[in-house]
């Protein structure tokens, strides 16, 4: 709440400055995680199913991956989490490109599951960066995650591509138990998973509870995540916490683009008003 009030007041002040938030690119730290792919409908058709969940939307779209596993082989004595408590029948999560839809279907079909026995529930309850719209990636989204991880040296416990305070290594290896769940079912008894090894390896894995795998959540770009806008004209919906967070990301990511004089103006304004802000909004 305190950050929200500060951002709102900063917005009023910096409306006299020229700051624009630009479309994110793979590798950017934004939206509670790291961008792994961006789809541009005017120039890119082959990556549609692998990246976005809203095929009909205009503007750039993409996926953000959580910076850390929600669970993996090394994080608990059971070496992961089950796909769900239901192992004998389908819950209707068949989409290979829409993990958000699959996750909603799983949670709605299994309301008595929780984050300890259901991979989709675990992602749905994750709130990395303060965002609450994370989901278990679909099969094709998981493949996109693997591609990004391999290209950026992020596979293996001691990978070289991890960043302090940013994206962390994916557990890798040929062992099936070190694979990652997707949200995509295959018939009633199986769900798709992917091993993060030297090559991409997707396979059907039994949903039986003894089969526990790793989970890494993703979230989709909203229109404001990926569309250029000027802070002067940016409208914040007071009921939408995510919009405040988008604005915060905008300020943080674009501060360095301001002139030294503009940076000093903001720093001086914060210094002059911090005592009043703390007094009124703590």
Please provide the DSSP assignment of 16-81 as one string.
Answer: TS--EEPPP-TT-EETTEEEEEEE-TTT--TTHHHH-S-TT--S-EEEEEESS-SB-TTTSTT-SB
Residue 46 within any structural domain of the chain: no
What is the sign, positive or negative, of the torsion defined by CA atoms of 144, 204, 208, 88? positive
> Averaging pLDDT over each range in 63-67, 193-197, 204-208, which range is the top one?
63-67
> Averaging pLDDT over each range in 7-11, 98-102, 176-180, which range is the top one?
98-102
Of 217, 216, 212, nearest in space to 196 by CA: 216
d(CA 75, CA 69): 9
**At 19, is the pLDDT very low, low, confident or very high (cuts 50, 70, 90)?**
low
Residue 137 within any structural domain of the chain: yes
Q: Is 218 helix (H, G, I), strand (E, B) or coil?
A: strand
For the cut 60, the answer to whether the pLDDT of residue 239 exceeds it is: no
Q: What is the value of pTM for the model shown?
A: 0.72
Residue 13 within any structural domain of the chain: no
**At 214, is the pLDDT very low, low, confident or very high (cuts 50, 70, 90)?**
very high
**Structural domain of 151:** 63-220
**At 48, is the pLDDT very low, low, confident or very high (cuts 50, 70, 90)?**
very low
Q: Which residue has the higher pLDDT, 207 or 6?
A: 207
d(CA 28, CA 33): 8
Residue 86 within any structural domain of the chain: yes
At residue 226, the pLDDT reads 44
Which stretches of 161-278 are assigned E, i.e. beta strand? 180-186, 190-196, 200-206, 218-220, 229-230
Mean pLDDT of 151-179: 83
Residue 266 within any structural domain of the chain: no
Residue 237 within any structural domain of the chain: no
What's the full length of the chain, in residues? 282
Using CA atoms of 101, 168, 150, 175 in order, give the dihedral in degrees to the nearest 10: -80
- Contact indicator for 147, 66 with CB cutoff of 8 Å: no
At residue 127, the pLDDT reads 93
How many domains, in total, are found in the chain?
Answer: 1
Task: Please write the tens of the pLDDT for every residue from 63-97.
Answer: 899 999 999 877 776 678 999 988 888 899 999 98
For the cut 90, the answer to whether the pLDDT of residue 120 exceeds it is: yes
Q: Which residue has the higher pLDDT, 47 or 23?
A: 23
Listed range (24-28, 179-183, 249-253) with the worst mean pLDDT: 249-253
For the cut 80, the answer to whether the pLDDT of residue 171 exceeds it is: yes
For the cut 70, the answer to whether the pLDDT of residue 114 exceeds it is: yes
Q: Which residue has the higher pLDDT, 203 or 69?
A: 69
**At 111, is the pLDDT very low, low, confident or very high (cuts 50, 70, 90)?**
very high
Q: Is 184 helix (H, G, I), strand (E, B) or coil?
A: strand
Residue 150, CA distances (Å) to 64, 97, 132, 171, 196 in order: 16, 20, 27, 12, 8
Residue 254 within any structural domain of the chain: no
Residue 117 within any structural domain of the chain: yes
What is the sign, positive or negative, of the torsion defined by CA atoms of 81, 84, 88, 91? negative
d(CA 214, CA 114): 16
């Amino acid at each position: 709440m305190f950050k929200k009030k500060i951002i709102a007041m900063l917005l009023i002040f910096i409306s006299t400055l020229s700051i624009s938030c630009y479309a994110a690119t793979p590798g950017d730290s934004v939206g509670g995680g790291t961008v792994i792919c961006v789809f541009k409908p005017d120039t890119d058709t082959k990556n549609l199913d692998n990246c976005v969940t809203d095929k009909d939307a205009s503007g750039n779209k993409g996926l953000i991956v959580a910076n850390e596993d929600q669970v993996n082989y090394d994080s608990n004595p059971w070496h992961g989490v089950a796909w769900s408590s239901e192992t004998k029948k389908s819950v209707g999560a068949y989409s290979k490109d829409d993990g958000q839809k699959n996750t909603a279907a799983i949670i709605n079909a299994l309301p008595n599951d929780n984050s300890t026995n259901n991979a989709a529930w675990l992602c749905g309850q994750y709130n990395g960066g303060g965002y609450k719209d994370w989901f278990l990636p679909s099969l094709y989204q998981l493949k996109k995650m693997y591609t990004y991880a391999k290209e950026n040296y992020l596979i293996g416990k001691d990978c070289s591509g991890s960043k302090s305070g940013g994206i962390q290594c994916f557990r890798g290896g040929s062992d099936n138990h070190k694979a990652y769940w997707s949200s995509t079912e295959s018939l009633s008894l199986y769900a798709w998973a992917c091993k993060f090894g030297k090559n991409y390896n997707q396979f059907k894995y039994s949903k039986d509870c003894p089969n526990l795998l790793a989970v890494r959540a993703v979230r989709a770009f909203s229109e404001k995540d990926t569309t250029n806008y000027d802070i002067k004209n940016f409208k914040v919906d007071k009921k939408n916490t995510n919009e405040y967070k988008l604005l915060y990301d905008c300020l943080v990511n674009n501060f360095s683009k301001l002139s030294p004089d503009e940076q000093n103006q903001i720093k001086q304004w914060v210094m002059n008003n911090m005592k009043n802000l703390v007094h009124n909004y703590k």
